[in-house]
Amino acid sequence: MPATPPSPGRLPSLTGLRFAAALLVFGVHAYSFIPLADPPADRVAGILFNGGDLGVSFFFVLSGFVLTWSVRPGYRPGRFWWGRLARVYPAHLVALVPAVVGLMLTARLPDIWPRLLAFSAPLVQAWHPSDVYYLGINPVTWSLSCEMAFYLAFPLLYAGLRRLGTTALRVAAVALPAAVWLMPVVADLLIAAEHRRWFVYIFPPVRMLEFLLGIVLALLVRRGAWRGPGLPVATALWVVNYLAVEWLPAQARDTAATIVTIGLLVPAAALADLYGRRSWWRHRVAVHLGEVSYAFFLLHLVVIVTVMHLVGRDREWTAWQAVGLTLAFLVGSYLLAVPLHRWVELPAMRRLRPTPPATPPGPPEPPTRDRRQTGPAPRQDALTG
């Protein structure tokens, strides 16, 4: 019988993993904007960091999982949507200010910036096929544009998927990663060449496949029907998978490359929390970094790009200089993220987020092979919401 977890229903390991995903995205941006003079060092850095875009895929799967896990009795779509607005928009809108300032300081603010801001501020830029628009102002927020589409659709998606039987959910858990792998093929057949990158990597309905996978995985875990490796094995499989992505086709590398191992890792981390198994991601340092990860994600690229343009974008750096710059960007982005998290993100959530229904969650139940098992009752986790 698994040990009873110390805080039933909470999933702090998923909060810790959020920072790991943000760190992957930071790594690919640092690698992209710090040219290395040494080809062997550049090759090693490419293997370690060039697949960092896959952190976004992790975010999308994790988002679907956590939102499903957080549904409790008395759930209402209107309350859910308002909570999502309170969670995302305040910090995003504040982070647009340093983004615009950085563009001005480096003389990169385009003449059409008011039009770009009109797409970026309400987070609808991912629907535009031009990279001038979907990467405008603060480029990383295209993924938030996708998330807002996911949030809008979530009540309908959840209502439909929760009615599926366990066998159908298991089929979906296999079919959805397969569909992600097929999207580059669909793009080659149906989408104009100049828009294929947008379709595969940016277009919200395509990226929603990963979000749907997260919902399906959470439903399987809630029913006690998930059968997968434990956290150590799932982590090892993901690491090996990630280090091999450089040898995969470019279009699949940015989205599909690790979708299978992400689908193993997220439930494994959740179950480690539920049944008290060892998880480094539950450590208070990891959880703190996960709490700050949204603000860190919003600010890190502004810091990297602004500084690199000020010091000279075309200059090449030795390996040790690049390591020093990367660490400076990491620490600097964290130091800026903490006040954004504490003074904007958290107060906005406290003041704007609706009060959830006062229905206490029940204790988790151990997994069982009975497909009728409903599993542990969900509970809102403010850290991962």
- Give yes or no for a contact between 152 and 192, defined as CB atoms under 8 angstroms apart: no
Give CA–CA dist 93/351, Å, rounded.
Answer: 16
- Give yes or no for a contact between 182 and 190, defined as CB atoms under 8 angstroms apart: no
C-alpha closest to that of 221 among 177, 178, 263: 263
Q: How far is CA 297 from the centre of its chain?
A: 10
The predicted pLDDT at position 313 comes to 79
Specify whether the backbone of 115 is left (phi greater than 0), alpha (psi in -120 to 50) or beta. alpha
- Give yes or no for a contact between 100 and 142, defined as CB atoms under 8 angstroms apart: no
- State how far the alpha carbon of 197 is from the alpha carbons of 139, 185, 252, 279, in Å: 15, 12, 10, 36
The predicted pLDDT at position 356 comes to 54
pLDDT digits over 187-226, tens only? 999 999 999 999 999 999 999 999 999 999 999 999 999 9
Q: How many CB atoms lie within 10 A of CB 331?
A: 10
Give CA–CA dist 381/376, Å, rounded.
Answer: 14
The predicted pLDDT at position 248 comes to 84
Q: What is the pLDDT along the chain (385 residues), one digit of tens a residue?
A: 333 333 346 899 999 999 999 999 999 999 999 999 999 999 999 999 999 999 999 999 999 999 999 998 888 999 999 999 999 999 999 999 999 999 999 999 999 999 999 999 999 999 999 999 999 999 999 999 999 999 999 999 999 999 999 999 999 999 999 999 999 999 999 999 999 999 999 999 999 999 999 999 999 999 999 999 999 999 999 999 999 998 887 777 878 999 999 999 999 999 999 998 999 999 999 999 999 999 999 999 999 999 999 998 788 999 999 999 999 999 999 999 999 999 999 999 998 876 654 444 443 444 444 433 334 333 333 333 4
Q: List Cβ neighbours of 190 (8 Å cut-off, separation of 6 or more).
A: none
What value does the mean pLDDT of the chain take? 89
Angle of helix 284-311 versus helix 77-105 axis, rounded to 10:
30
- Give yes or no for a contact between 179 and 212, defined as CB atoms under 8 angstroms apart: no
Give CA–CA dist 226/228, Å, rounded.
Answer: 6
- State how far the alpha carbon of 348 is from the alpha carbons of 16, 345, 356, in Å: 22, 5, 16
Q: Output the furthest CA–CA distance in the chain (Å, rounded).
A: 64
Backbone CA torsion sign across 223, 226, 232, 237: negative
- For 355, the 3-state DSSP assignment is coil
